[in-house]
Amino acid sequence: MADVKTETPTGAPPRRRGVEDPGFGPKRRLTSGGIVALVVKVVLLGIIDALAVFGLYVLIGKGDWVAAAVLLAVVALVNYIYLRPGILPGKYLTPGLFFLAIFQVFVIFYTGYISFTNYGDQHNSTKEDAVSQIIRTSQERVPDSPAYAVEIYRQADQYGMFVSEPGGDTAFGTNEQPLEEASGAPDGWERLNLNQILRFQDEVLALNVQVTDDVNDGTLRTQDGSTAFVFTSTLEYDEAADTFTDTESGVVYSDDGEGNFRAEDGTTLTPGWRVVIGWENYAYAFTNEQIRDPLIRVVIWTFAFAFFSTFLCFALGLFLAIVFNHPTLRGKKFYRILVILPYAFPVYLTGLVWAGMLNEEFGFINEVLFGGANIPWLSDPWLARLSVLVVNMWLGYAYMFLVCTGALQSLPDDVIEAAKMDGAGAWRIFRSIKLPLLFVAVAPLLIATFAFNFNNFPVIFMLTGGNPRFTDTTLPIGSTDIMITMVYKIAFGSGGGRDYGLASALSILIFIIVAIIAAISFRQTKSLEDLH
C-alpha cells in the first residue's frame, strides 16, 4: 500500500525542474534520494554487515549456532529492507524497532525465562564450571609434596607453566591443558621476567595446571612464579556417579536436581549451577513467610505511594494554577517561572539533597525549622513514608501546574460566561464547570502519572534507599521500598546475595499488575479511539 502512495507520484510524471536523474523512474533507482543518500546508505549497511560477519565468526567459533542463525537472519532482513526499492515504512521503522526488539521485547521474555531459574550469585554458570570451581576452591597443598621449579610463559592473554620435575623431566601446561612432556615452551610463547610476574601477579596466582588428565590427581600452583607445589582437592569428583566425596570425612554430595551438590544432611557445596526450577520463585514469593508478609506490605505501599503522589501533585499543581490564573495578577509570570524550578532540578539530586535536609541529627529541617528537634524523618517507618510523599510532591507538582495552567487557559469562555449569566458564583463555576472540563483533559495524564509513580525508582532509592529496614526478613527491603526498588535490591543489592531468579519473578508480578492497570485505564479513557 505504501508503495502506491509514496513511491509513485500520482498524476504527472516526475519530470520537473530540480529532479535529479531525470532518466530514472523511482522504481528503478537504488535510493529515492540523491547520490549522498546512496553513499550514506551503502556506508551504514557496510558497517552493519562488517560487524555481522565479525559476530558470526565469533559465534560460530563458540559453537553458538542458534545465535549465529538469528544474527544472520536479522542482518539479511535489514539488507533486504534497505536495498530493495519500496518497503518504505520498513526503512523508517527498522532502526527503532531493532533496539525495541532486543532491549524491550526480547528482555521481557527473557525476564520470564529467568524467573523460572535459580540464576543468582550462587548459581551463575554451568554445571561443568561449578564442578571445576568446587575442585579449585577446595584445594589444599599436598603435605610434603616436592617443589617443582617453574617458568611462567605468556601468549596474548593466556598463561602457561614450564615445569622441571624433581626427577629431571620437563613439561608444559596451561589452565586448560594438563601438563605434557616437552623440552621447552611451544613457539610463540614469551617467558615472563620478574617484573612481568609482579605485574601480572593475579594471573600468575590463578594459574592452575592439572598434573594429569584426571583433575583429581591435583594441580600445580605457584605463589612466586619460580616454585610450584602440587595441590589436591579434599573433594573428589566421580564423573560416572556424578558425585563429590570428601576424602577426609567420607561425606558424599550428589546432584539434587536443583543446581547443587547436596549431602544427606542437607549441606550443599558452593557454587551451584543454573537450572530451571519451575514455579519455585513464585511459590517462594507467595508462601515463604520471610518474603510473603514484607512483599504484601511493599505492594500496598507501592499503590499508596503512587496514588497519594499523583493526588498530592495534582492537587497542589491545580491549586497553584488556579491561584495564578487571574487576568490582572501582577508578577504572574515571575511566580510561574519560579514555581516550576523544582521540575528542572535533576531527580537524582532531589532525593540526595532532601535526604541531607531531613537528616535526623544534622539536617536543616530539624536544626533550623524545628529548632534543634530530633524528629526521625527518615528512620521512623511512617514519617519516612510521609517524607517520601512530600519530597515527591515537591518534585512533581510543577508538571501538574504546567498541565493544569494550559488546560485552564484553553477552557471555552462562552460556557463560563453563560454560567455567570445564570448567576453561578466562582466556586460553583469551578466545581460544576471548570473541574469536569479539566478532568476530561488531564485524566489520561493522571493515569500516566500514576503508572509513572508506580515505578518511580529514583525518588525512593535516593531519598531513603527503601529504609527503614523491615526487621522480620533477611531480604534487604524496608518500609519505603516500592516494588521496583525491591526488585533492584534483590537483583543487585550488596546484602543478602544477588538472586536474579527471584527478582525476575517479582518483575513478572509487577508486569501483571501494570498490565491490569493499563487495561482498566484503556477502557476508561478509550484512548485507543484516537488511533485512526
Partner 1 sequence: MATGLADVTSKPEKPVGSHRRQPFGKWFVDKGWRHLVGVAAIVFALLPLAYILSASLNPAGTLTGSNQLFRAISFVNYENILTRDGGIYLTWYWNALVIAVVSSAATVLLCAMGAYAFSRMRFRGRRTGLLALLILQMFPQLLMIVAIFLTMIWITDVFPAIGLGTHAGLIMVYLGGALGVNTFLMYGFFNTIPTAIDEAAKIDGAGHARVFFTIMLPLVTPVLAVIGLLSFIGFIGEFAIASVLLTDPRDQTLAIGLFQLVSGFQSQNWGIFAAGAVLAAIPVMVLFLLLQRYIAGGLIAGSVK
Site for partner 1, residues 489 to 508, rule: CB under 8 A: 491-492, 500, 503-504, 507
- Choose the binding region for partner 1 from 228-236, 237-245, 265-273, 396-404 (rule: CB under 8 A): 396-404
The CB-of-191 to partner 1 minimum distance in angstroms stands at: 28
Q: According to CB under 8 A, which residues from 12 to 31 bind partner 1?
A: 12, 14-16, 18-19, 26, 31
Is-contact 237 216, C-beta < 8 A?
A: yes
Task: Check binding of 386 to partner 1 (CB under 8 A).
Answer: no
User: 93 or 206: whose CB is closer to partner 1?
Assistant: 93
Q: Which of 125, 139, 455, 525: binder of partner 1 (CB under 8 A)?
A: 455
Interface with partner 1, residue 436, by CB under 8 A:
no
Q: Which of 355, 361, 342, 346 shows the shortest CA–CA distance to 387?
A: 355
Is there a contact between 470 and 477 (Cβ–Cβ < 8 Å)? yes
C-alpha cell at 340: 516550576
Nearest-angstrom CA–CA distance, 398 and 409: 16
Query: Which of 323, 468, 303 has the alpha carbon at shortest distance from 397?
Result: 323
CA distance 434 to 407: 10
Task: Decide if residue 305 touches partner 1 (CB under 8 A).
Answer: no
Interface pick for partner 1 out of 229, 303, 308, 343 (rule CB under 8 A): 343
63 binds partner 1 (CB under 8 A): no
426-454: burial string, b at 16+ Cβ within 10 Å, e else? eeebeeebbeebbeeebeebbbebbbebb
Strands 209-210 and 190-191, by their bridges, are: unpaired
Give the CA radius of gyration of the chain. Answer: 34
Site for partner 1 in 192-211 (CB under 8 A): none
Q: 345-374: which residues touch partner 1 (CB under 8 A)? A: 345-350, 352-357, 359, 361-364, 367-368
Q: Of 42, 45, 48, 67, which lies in the binding site for partner 1, with binding defined by CB under 8 A?
A: 67
226-265 residues near partner 1, rule: CB under 8 A: none
- In the beta sheet, which residues pair with residue 158? 155
Subset of 472-491 contacting partner 1 (CB under 8 A): 484, 487-488, 491
On whether the CB atoms of residues 366 and 450 are closer than 8 A, the answer is no
Name the DSSP letter for residue 185.
P
Closest CA to 433 of 446, 444, 424: 424
* Contacting residue, 47, 83, 323, 520, with partner 1 by CB under 8 A: 323
Instruction: Tell me the closest approach of the beta carbon of residue 107 to partner 1, in angstroms.
Output: 4
Q: For residue 423, with 0-12 CB atoms within 10 Å meaning exposed, 13-18 middle and 19 or more buried, which class applies?
A: exposed
Q: Between residue 403 and residue 432, which ones bind partner 1 under the rule CB under 8 A? A: 403, 405-410
Residue in 332, 380, 386, 429 binding partner 1, rule: CB under 8 A:
332
Q: Are residues 253 and 247 in contact, defined by beta-carbon separation less than 8 angstroms? A: no
531 contributes a contact to partner 1 by CB under 8 A: yes
Stretch that binds partner 1, among 42-50, 201-209, 297-305, 454-462 (CB under 8 A): 454-462
Choose among 361, 398, 394, 402: nearest CA to 379: 361
Q: Per rule CB under 8 A, is residue 342 in the interface with partner 1?
A: yes
- 462 forms part of the interface with partner 1 (CB under 8 A): yes
Judged by beta carbon, residue 230 or residue 390, the one nearer partner 1 is 390
- Neighbouring C-beta atoms of residue 530, cutoff 10 Å: 8
Q: Which amino acid is at 497?
A: G
The minimum distance between CB 124 and partner 1, in angstroms, equals: 10
| Binding of partner 1 by 439 (CB under 8 A) | no
Residue 36, CA distances (Å) to 33, 252, 518 in order: 7, 71, 44
Residues 109-138 that bind partner 1 (CB under 8 A): 110-111, 114, 119
